[in-house]
Structure 1
């Protein structure tokens, strides 16, 4: 597990047995992590406020202050944390409420060490800064896409250019991890640009963007090495879905495939 600092993980649950089991699993998956425990919502909230926490495993039903109430207070305060809610009941209403409050995923008790491993793997990917390039001839659209990407869960260093030719020039000095490439551009269309980009940088991942239906372009996009198609306008959760698929991460319950996204 590659992170640039020692992880601080909060285990917040009123069950001593659950805290011990999760501590055991985390000791196996992240042996160098600093583990903090809380047995009620108020103590959990204080632990988060007092010291930086990277990951929070938060029980929904706790005395004094529920996990959802604690999450609500954190969101109101403006804190953005990697929170995994836990409960013995997979109540879809509560899970949806947690998603709306910014939780990353939901764990139904009991769970396995492999489930914890997939969650920590996701955290590492989300925290590992991705170099992202926006290619679109419209300054307004680039600004909108920039705002969407900036509100995703993934940490991104975002740059932009206004044409396929400019993207190819940039590739000679900078290697982005992901390119959001508009299909309709005046010099090179998206498929043409993708062929040149992949020839220059085979490892780069390309997401084709268009405001129009591209169902007739699937074969051309596949041959150009494009990962998926996304229709404008799109939103942060759709980008998060795409990047989870792109990096082979377990899909959290907070994300789902929408009609805007076409996987190739």
Structure 2
């Protein structure tokens, strides 16, 4: 199966059906106008630490919804969280042990699933404002990087901030900041503009997650907090078990992007 040419115009139900059927693809540019979300699911005994970690690091971990223990859907996601994302990563003791398109065989009755805001939500607004979205232009996954910035820890959970990067023409950086600042529930304004080394990023061509994209002359790398941060914390803190989305392969929800736009 390949990414359909009409991915941008699909409804969430239709997109989720494709993923349930085994299609694996990054979801940037899919289901225009519908909100996408990161997934992290942990045993109930670890859920408070995740919730507190998110509360203490809201820029990276804006919580959109939380399930009951064992829940496989959410108020914002009427599909099945075990099957209706295009990719999952399963962690044991903080180590990725499986990457699957169907997490049913790994799902547990005590898992609490968190849906975390995703910067894909504001990409249509960026494009409408004339700000390029290079990974969509190039048909790639968005590049994501671990930074040297520590998150504020919570219980046994801690780690470093993860960011996504989009190259922006220098003259449009102010527009990118203005547009994305109006979406605080999906990471909001950038956390850094310019020199990657200030974030401890040595090489833009070697992202920790996703794909490298072209940075053209006259463009500035712009960095947004990323909802992969909880998975980086899982890898750093090594809880016994967790399931996350494959980075860039998001949960397409039944909420609208405009629901998270502030005046």
TM-score, scaled relative to structure 1: 0.31
Bigger relative contact order (CA 8 A; separation at least 6): 2
User: Who wins on radius of gyration, i.e. which is larger?
Assistant: 1
TM-score, scaled relative to structure 2: 0.31
* Higher share of residues assigned helix: 1
* Higher share of residues assigned strand: 2
